[in-house]
Amino acid sequence: MSDDHERIYLQDVNNAGPEGRTWCYSRIDDVDTEYVRADLFATLESEVEELRQKVSHVERDAKDAIVHIRKEHKQESDDCHCEWCTSEFAYVD
């Protein structure tokens, strides 16, 4: 873990003073460019990927559950035109 600042800001070129563009630990203007420490960014990228995988599994499980429920419903009535039987998952096997 680094003791360096997590974020720094580069002053926008249009707002630079006579000394030119400067770096600062806090945003001076809304248009300043924010930079995040690379190790923090890598950690966030990894966390985002883990969440994407979890969401993918939940989505797949939900689709499987809908298909299962719909098949049970169809067994009760083969000629059903309810919302369950006509939604986007109606013909997913």
Domain residue ranges in the chain: 1-36, 49-93
Query: Does pLDDT of 93 surpass 60?
Result: no
Encode 34-45 in three state secondary structure: EEECHHHHHHHH
The whole model's pTM is what?
0.52
| Dihedral in degrees, nearest 10, Cα atoms 70, 72, 76, 80 | 10
pLDDT band at 84 (very low <50, low <70, confident <90, very high): low
Q: Tell whether the model's pLDDT for residue 70 goes beyond 90.
A: no
The predicted structure's pLDDT at residue 9:
96
Q: Look at residue 74 in the predicted model and tell me its pLDDT.
A: 64
Q: What is the mean pLDDT of residues 46-72?
A: 87
